[in-house]
Amino acid sequence: MKNRSLLLLGCGALTGLVLAGYALFTARGTSTLIVPPEDVALVNQQTISRTDYLQQLQTLFGVDLRHATPVQRRKVLDDMIREELLVQRGKELDVASTDPDVRGAMVHAVELEIAADAISAQPTDKQLMAYFAVHRERYAGEGTMTVRDLVFSQTAAETAARAAASLGSTAPTPALLAQWHARAGTAVGDEEFYFAARIHLGDQLFEVAEGLADATASAPIPRADGIHVLYMVSNHRPAPADFAAARDRVLNDYRNESISNLRIADAAFLRKRAHVVIADDLR
């Protein structure tokens, strides 16, 4: 009876040791002898990923593993091992403390890491709709307008006023322009998005044009280059988009805002836990 107990105890202990040994020598991050199946090499315990190896093979030689020659395989592996060794040496030499490129790359990499975390959290439609409701004006479609800009000489104020009064019922034709001795201004005359019309007209004229209804003319607007009269052929003001149409942009903006918030929080956290001493003269 006692022998059997000891035997069972021994079996249990042996099984435990075997399992512990197996785990110790194969677990990711602890293995010193066996290359994990997802990797192609261990360089001073640092793994070189199989996926990266395959990708590198594709990038360098345009072949997959099956079609790669032994020379190509070896070349890619050697290159990757060399790179890993140099990176490790770079850490030993602490190149980040002296090389601005390395510092820049590290800052960028950490920022990317933070953003990647934000990206992997998938917002629900409810969250997106709440965001959309708060920023609805951002998702209005761009307005469009077709506007004519008539420019009269500085001395033709009366003609400009007469033209402005008559343009409500008549669109400006080349014949009318010739009759009034007016010229066409910088507005293209074709249908334009609001942002483009603003660029062509300038802020002052655009703000007048924005308020004009279809087939109406503005009052004369004196400017340095002459007296302007705007005639609005058609004015489609920005229409608010519905959530379904704007969802894609809402999602991008929501994510960008999450990333921005996360970066600010991360910077604050790092600053909080850091021991920073500032020189007296800069305090």
Partner 1 sequence: MAMPLKILAAAAAAACIGVVAAVFLHGNRLEARLLRADPMTIPDNTNLMLFATARGKPLFKTDCAICHGTAGQGDSTRGIPNLRDNDWLYGTGTISDIEQVINYGIRSYHPKAWNLATMPAYGTAHPTARDSQIPPLSPHNIEDLVAFLLELQGNDAVNGGGTDKTAVARGAALFAGVGGCYDCHGSDAKGEPAIGSPNLTDGITLYGDGSRAALTQSISYGRAGVCPAWSGKLTPAGIRAVAVYVYSLSHGTSG
Total residues interacting with partner 1, rule: CB under 8 A: 43
Under the criterion CB under 8 A, does residue 255 sit at the interface with partner 1? yes
- Separation CA 48–CA 81 (nearest Å): 8
* Whether 272 contacts 180, CB under 8 Å: no
Report if residue 109 touches partner 1, rule: CB under 8 A: yes
List own/partner pairs for 216-222 with CB under 8 A and 24 or more apart: 216/167, 216/168, 217/163, 217/164, 217/165, 217/167, 217/168, 218/164, 219/161, 219/164, 220/152, 220/157, 220/160, 220/161, 220/164, 222/154, 222/157
Binding track, positions 36-75, relative to partner 1; x by CB under 8 A = -xx----------xxxx-xx--x-----xxx---------
DSSP 8-state class, residue 111: H
From its phi and psi, is residue 29 left (phi > 0), alpha (psi between -120 and 50) or beta?
left
Closest to partner 1 by CB, 125 or 158: 125
Kindly give the residue spans of alpha helices, DSSP state H, lying in 62-202. 70-93, 100-120, 125-134, 157-166, 174-180, 194-201
Per CB under 8 A, contacts with partner 1 among 175-204 are: 188, 190-193, 195-196, 199
Position of tokens 């990711």?
Answer: 28
Point out which span in 82-90, 107-115, 167-175, 220-228 binds partner 1 (CB under 8 A).
107-115
Q: Does 120 sit near partner 1 (CB under 8 A)?
A: yes
Interaction between residue 9 and partner 1 (CB under 8 A): no
Whole-angstrom Cα Rg for the chain? 36
Residue whose CB is less far from partner 1, 144 or 216: 144
Pick from 31, 72, 144, 153: which binds partner 1 (CB under 8 A)? 144
Do 193 and 237 touch, CB atoms closer than 8 A? Answer: no
Q: Give the nearer residue to partner 1 in terms of CB position, either 152 or 206.
A: 206
E strand or H helix that includes residue 40: strand 39-43
Q: Is residue 171 near partner 1 by the rule CB under 8 A?
A: no
Nearest to 144 by CA among 240, 237, 212: 237
Shortest distance (Å) from residue 64 CB to partner 1:
5
**Span from 95-103, 118-126, 163-171, 273-281 in contact with partner 1 (CB under 8 A):** 118-126
For residues 122 and 124, what is the distance between their CA atoms, to the nearest angstrom?
A: 7
Smallest distance from the beta carbon of 283 to partner 1, in angstroms? 36
Quick check: 96 binds partner 1 (CB under 8 A)? no
Residues that bind partner 1 in the complex, under the rule CB under 8 A: 8, 15, 37-38, 49-52, 54-55, 58, 64-66, 109, 112-113, 115-116, 118-120, 122, 141-142, 144, 188, 190-193, 195-196, 199, 244-245, 247-249, 251-252, 255, 259
